[in-house]
């Protein structure tokens, strides 16, 4: 899994034609042409002389600040220029997924001042007035995030951890989910979650703790317990997480894929790479589709039940290829409280996915079950 932003190999004739940083821009220009390249969210205000002379036929500039003379010239030379959109709390043409520091910038002024909160407020405002331009910007943003996420996860063995947002810090369930994330990360998997609080945060925290000794997670859990939930104060909840990150700054990477559709739930700061979407349907399908090494389902409610069957459907039809492992944790929850397991097992009977599903009693059994199923 590449870092955010990823390090790029030199461009060759076989390389993709996207330029996502100023260093890449200079590298490509040195080869003599920008023709048919896609330059994405790169600040080119200091590259006017280059843009006035280099071949840009068929190039597309997406949200790249540049001098007006440069914009006029590249258009005349056959390029398309989509200028930056002013007064937005997000960049619809962004090249990379988000980082926690980016989404929680200005947290010292309160969560309401952060880009994450401002983007949610923008969504609420524009969704209410039905502005078609805003709808287009949301779609462009989400497509850019998907593109960045695909680049990030090239070659990664991704295991999803799904579970409810209500799981509180300071509980044994939260600690168990964190230990699961840590064990998966130490086994070489990339942990991916829905990116929110509760079980999702716990799994991302575990992956963050993976490079450290076991005592680090014990201490981190104690620090986090002072702000057990994101209500009544997201600010206090987030600051507790950043206190942990500050004390142990070299945590391991993982992925969170949250949505502003549920914008009242903040993203958790323990996922190093956050692919946040406006459209929840795009986010849900994309999260499960990228869990190529399987999914562990912790106890949850309606959202987790939906995710189980969203994942089961392509496994049933094998529409994404060979079925991927599905491990449900907590027998009582999935057979009595929300009897999802009997239906899943009946659905899988006499199909390839039958050998790829498992129900375990405790969270500590999940990694072994995942391995047994071929994760």
Is it the case that residue 9 has pLDDT exceeding 90? Answer: no
Predicted local confidence at residue 41, as pLDDT: 96
Crossing angle for the helix pair 302-317 and 280-289, nearest 10 degrees?
A: 50
Exposed (0-12), middle (13-18) or buried (19+): which is 155, by Cβ within 10 Å?
exposed
Is it the case that residue 120 has pLDDT exceeding 60? Answer: yes
Cα angle 162, 239, 103; round to 5: 65
Judge contact between 4 and 96, C-beta under 8 A: yes
Per-residue model confidence as pLDDT tens digits over 174-212: 999 999 999 999 999 999 999 999 999 999 999 999 999
pTM of the predicted protein model: 0.93
Whole-number Å distance between alpha carbons of 282 and 297: 20
Predicted local confidence at residue 48, as pLDDT: 98
Predicted local confidence at residue 299, as pLDDT: 93
One domain, residues 77 and 107? no
Give the total number of structural domains in the chain.
3
Q: Residue 70's domain spans which residues?
A: 18-82
One domain, residues 45 and 163? no
Is it the case that residue 284 has pLDDT exceeding 60? Answer: yes
Q: What percent of the chain has pLDDT over 70?
A: 96
Judge contact between 41 and 20, C-beta under 8 A: yes
The pLDDT-based confidence of 128 (bands split at 50, 70, 90) is: confident
Is it the case that residue 312 has pLDDT exceeding 80? Answer: yes
Question: What is the residue-averaged pLDDT of the chain?
Answer: 94
Predicted local confidence at residue 130, as pLDDT: 85
One domain, residues 305 and 168? yes
One domain, residues 161 and 219? yes
Structural domain includes residue 277? yes
One domain, residues 140 and 76? no
- Domain end marker among 111, 145, 179: 145
Predicted local confidence at residue 369, as pLDDT: 96
CA atoms within 13 A on the CB side of 345: 10
Whole-number Å distance between alpha carbons of 330 and 304: 13
Kindly report the CATH number assigned to the domain that includes residue 204.
Answer: 3.40.50.450
One domain, residues 165 and 126? no
One domain, residues 211 and 318? yes
Judge contact between 326 and 294, C-beta under 8 A: yes
Beta bridge partners of 160: 192, 295
One domain, residues 160 and 292? yes
């Amino acid at each position: 899994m590449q870092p955010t932003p990823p390090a790029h190999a030199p461009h060759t004739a076989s390389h993709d034609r996207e330029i996502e940083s100023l260093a890449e821009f200079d590298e490509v220009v040195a080869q003599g042409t920008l023709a048919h390249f896609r330059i994405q969210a790169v600040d080119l205000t200091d590259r006017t002389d280059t843009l006035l002379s280099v071949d840009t036929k068929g190039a597309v500039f997406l949200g790249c600040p540049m001098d007006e003379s440069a914009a006029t010239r590249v258009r005349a030379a056959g390029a398309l220029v989509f200028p930056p959109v002013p007064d937005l709390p997000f960049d619809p043409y962004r090249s990379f997924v988000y980082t926690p520091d980016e989404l929680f910038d200005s947290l010292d002024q309160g969560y309401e001042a952060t880009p994450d909160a401002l983007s949610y407020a923008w969504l609420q405002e524009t969704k209410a007035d039905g502005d078609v331009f805003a709808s287009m910007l949301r779609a462009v943003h989400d497509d850019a995030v998907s593109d960045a996420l695909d680049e990030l996860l090239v070659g990664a063995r991704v295991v999803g951890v799904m579970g409810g947002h209500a799981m509180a810090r300071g509980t044994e369930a939260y600690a168990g989910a964190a230990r699961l994330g840590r064990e998966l990360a130490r086994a070489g998997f990339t942990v991916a979650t829905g990116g929110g609080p509760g079980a999702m945060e716990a799994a991302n925290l575990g992956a963050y703790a993976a490079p450290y000794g076991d005592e680090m997670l014990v201490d981190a859990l104690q620090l986090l317990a002072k702000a057990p939930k994101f209500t009544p104060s997201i600010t206090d909840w987030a600051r507790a997480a950043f206190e942990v990150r500050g004390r142990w700054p070299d945590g391991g990477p993982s992925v969170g894929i949250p949505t502003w559709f549920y914008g009242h739930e903040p993203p958790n700061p323990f996922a190093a790479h956050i692919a946040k979407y406006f459209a929840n349907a795009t986010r849900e399908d994309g999260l499960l589709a990228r869990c190529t090494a399987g999914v562990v389902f912790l106890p949850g409610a309606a959202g987790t039940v939906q995710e189980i069957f969203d994942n089961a459907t392509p496994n049933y039809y094998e529409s994404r290829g060979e079925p991927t492992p599905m491990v449900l944790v907590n027998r009582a929850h999935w057979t009595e409280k929300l009897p999802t397991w009997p239906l899943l097992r009946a659905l899988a009977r006499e199909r390839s996915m039958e050998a790829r599903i498992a129900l375990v009693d405790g969270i500590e059994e999940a990694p072994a079950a995942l391995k047994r199923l071929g994760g």
